[in-house]
Amino acid sequence: MKLVFATHNKNKFDEVKKLVPAHIELVSLTDIGCFDEIPETGATLEENAHIKADYVTKNYNLPCFADDTGLIVEALNGEPGVYSARYAGESKNSDDNMNKLLNNLKGQNSRAAHFKTVIALNINQEKHTFDGIVQGEITKEKTGNHGFGYDPIFKPNGYEKTFAELPLKTKNSIGHRGRAMKKLIDFLQ
């Protein structure tokens, strides 16, 4: 089965590809010749995931899934949330996003946060939604060289290391995207 993962993010694609069983041929937007930047105009993670999946279904008529992920920080009333990728501006620069978040948390006692991923799957003229959440906290400084996005400042509950310090296999088994992907893969089996 060929399945499109509606993303241009190579890091995210590579992370997800390691989770997909061999009988599923996972392809990216680039692989199908889609070079458009699909606008994320939804007010929620769910809406953004569906917008991206619907775009591929409408324009390429292929089974696909899309995800949207947000980092929700309690002390910041849920920020950056749906705006996580562009928290510090449209350039979507991870360092700028982390610096802004760390700066906004200065003086806050609570650093509790969670990541949430929502996956929208369009297959056989049906729509399905899966989600995954991981609880944790925001560290006071960046540590680790693995991962992407906010990984260097997010420490999942039960671990002493950030996502950027943990091996990808561990991150995938406990993380938000891995949890949502497990639900998707179980559904496809």
> Active-site residue numbers?
68
Taking only Cα atoms into account, the Rg of the chain, rounded to an integer number of angstroms, comes to 16
Q: What percent helix, strand, coil does the chain show, rounded to 5?
A: 35, 25, 40
∠ at Cα 46 (30, 157), nearest 5°?
Answer: 95
Residue 71, class by beta-carbon neighbours within 10 Å (0-12 exposed, 13-18 middle, 19+ buried)? buried
80 beta partners: 72
Three-state secondary-structure class, residue 150: coil
Instruction: Phi first, then psi: give them for residue 177, nearest 5 degrees.
Output: -70, -40
Which of 165, 80, 64 lies closest to 114 in space, CA to CA? 80
Give the whole-angstrom CA distance, residue 29 versus residue 31: 5
